Amino acid sequence: MTRLLIIGPPGSGKGTQAEHLARHFGVPTLSTGEIFRTNVNEETELGKQAAGYLDDGDFVPDHLTNAMVKDRLQDSGLQAGFLLDGYPRTAPQVAELDNMLVSQGFALDAVIELTAPDSVLEQRMLRRAAEQGRTDDTVDVFRRRLDLYHRETHEVVSVYAGRGMLVSVDGSGDPGDIIRQAIAAVEKFLASPRPGA
């Protein structure tokens, strides 16, 4: 039973890494994007409330995000573990996730942080925009997203680092190398004795 969380800035390849890590550890990926889409498409009460924010391009408020994640975490298919992607984004969400997991008798095993210099992330974004013809990937938009990420997740990373459960992986190299490094780093961390374990 492995319960992981992955954190990374826009352009870090977090989605790709999450897929590979989840496959390697034999657990499903649980992303807030997928949770939002499912609730909106199925027109659940929470989905209807979230749709308005998503349609306007706004962040879904914490109370709605928390409720949807809590609902999803109660799925019996997640009893054997999961890899959480995109949540928590803020310190209050960390506390909410703690409560959700404790109520089920669970705890996170490790938090993977993908790191890369902002300049590398920006070049990746520009390359992706050119390859995919994405007009929403402008430098200004990307820099705003990156700034928001740094401001929001700084506390999240600090909390998990303080708990001694943060595994940092350099996400600036070749995707294949990053995957191998991430798997090796997480396996080494999970195999090492931890205080209170």
* Binding site as annotated, residues for AMP: 32, 37, 58-60, 86-89, 93, 134, 145
Residue 143 bears catalytic tag: no
176 CB-contact burial (10 Å; exposed 0-12 / middle 13-18 / buried 19+): exposed
Half-sphere exposure of 54 (CA within 13 A, CB side): 17
- Catalytic member of 3, 14, 72, 124: 14
Residue 128 bears catalytic tag: yes
Q: Which residue in 105, 138, 111 sits closest to 122, CA to CA? A: 138
Cis peptide before 117 (omega within 30 of 0): no
Neighbours of 155 (CB within 10 A): 16
Residue 89 bears catalytic tag: yes
- Catalytic member of 48, 127, 134, 194: 134
Residue 124 bears catalytic tag: no
Which residue ranges make up the annotated binding site for ATP? 11-16, 128, 173
Residue 180 bears catalytic tag: no
Distance of CA 14 to the CA centre of its chain: 7
Give the DSSP H or E segment for 110.
strand 110-115
- Catalytic member of 3, 72, 89, 124: 89
Contacts (Cβ under 8 Å, ≥6 apart) of 107: 3, 101
- Catalytic member of 23, 70, 143, 145: 145
Give how far Cα 4 sits from Cα of 80, 85, 121, Å.
12, 9, 24
Which residue ranges make up the annotated binding site? 11-16, 32, 37, 58-60, 86-89, 93, 128, 134, 145, 173
Annotated catalytic residues are: 14, 89, 128, 134, 145
